[in-house]
Structure 1
């Protein structure tokens, strides 16, 4: 029988947040951020998506709880963005974006605002924010990088 610490390590967790870039990013700088995120997420068993629009980021991270919390702490400490606003931070029953170490898309301003303003707390993957992100992700496959 696993002890409490082992069971805790296997729990899935998700965090969603929005933030503002600290400076105007060129396309190649955004590309480097995405590449580095993918590399680190793959090392830590994190999956999810990153959205970027007009100097603003939105990210949904999922994975083992400790790994997600450590990744989010690193993100919060990064000087590449500020005004990190946590939208959701809770356990989830399963991965939503398990095939993506870090999927990336550039939504339009209206889509970005709708996603960021959606209700994220409660209901984890069935809540309005997660449902809207899932719908956006499905429809945005042509804009993926």
Structure 2
């Protein structure tokens, strides 16, 4: 099990249609590859947590790094993990579009607060909850 978490800046002229396509593709692709996690977009910023088999995540992240829809990628976490935090959350991979969905993730993380990396990920989500 491996976890990659990053933030990035969306391209300034990204359209709602592009975001919708990205969200749909992300859920479908990550589910097929048994990758769990979340993708959040707010105020021109992306936050993504990816969990899965290390070689798959490295290949996926190499594609993410050259995706022209965003820039200024900052990797927050890239390490082996003993626990798949989002495996049981909303079918494994979720797009977070509303404050209510974000609050739902926070509530879910509160239930598994003893798992490794949970406090770290909650800290990263904190600014998005404001």
Shorter chain as denominator, the TM-score bin is 0.7 to 0.9
TM-score, with structure 1 as normaliser = 0.66
Give ranges in structure 1 of 5+ residues lacking alignment. 1-11, 112-123, 140-145
- The reply to whether residue 23 of structure 1 matches residue 23 of structure 2 is no
- The reply to whether residue 41 of structure 1 matches residue 30 of structure 2 is yes
The one-character-per-residue Cα deviations of 1:105-137 (angstroms, maximum 9, x if unpaired) are 1466xx9xxxxxxxxxxxx9336422346889x
Q: Alignment partner for residue 105 of structure 1, among 88, 96, 99?
A: 96
Matches within 5 A, 1:1-145: 12-99=1-88, 100-106=91-97, 125-126=116-117, 128-132=119-123
Residue pair 1:50, 1:59 contacting (<8 A) in 2 also: yes
Q: CA-atom RMSD, angstroms?
A: 2.7
Going from structure 1 to structure 2, the CA distance change for 1:134 and 1:23 (only over 3 Å counts) comes to closer
The one-character-per-residue Cα deviations of 1:58-90 (angstroms, maximum 9, x if unpaired) are 000000111111111110111111111000001
CA distance in 2, matches of 1:34, 1:91: 26
SS of the residue 1:78 aligns to: coil
Greater relative contact order: 1 or 2 (C-alpha under 8 angstroms, separation 6 or more)?
2
| Displacement after TM superposition at 1:40 (Å) | 1.4
